[in-house]
Amino acid sequence: MPSDELIFDLISRLPFVLIRIFTVIALLLHLFFSIIIVRQTKIMIKIVEAQISPTIYLISVIHFLISLTVFLWAILFLFLI
């Protein structure tokens, strides 16, 4: 493969690689955000006692689990397949 074709091939693939990387970075930031949400909910439950507190905590944990699942699926489909 001549060097011109190699350079053209790399340049043509670069936008797709950058989109993949930025997608994973954005999903990683969302995963950190969901961890913070779970932590803040746990602190809030200690301070404000209410009947709905366990439900709110459950929703925050479900949000974290969904975020983790989406992050892992994105890594699987964007880089491994």
Structure-block tokens of residue 43: 């602190």
CA–CA gap between residue 54 and residue 17 (Å, rounded): 42
Give the chain's domain count. 1
Instruction: Read off the pTM.
Output: 0.83
- The whole-number pLDDT of residue 17 equals 86
CA–CA gap between residue 62 and residue 55 (Å, rounded): 10
- The whole-number pLDDT of residue 79 equals 85
- What's 42-73 look like in SS3? HHHHHHCCCCCHHHHHHHHHHHHHHHHHHHHH
- In which domain, by residue range, is 56 found? 3-80
For each of the chain's 81 residues, which pLDDT tens digit applies? 567 787 777 788 888 888 999 999 999 999 999 999 999 999 999 999 899 999 999 999 999 999 999 999 999 998 887
End-to-end CA distance of the chain: 25
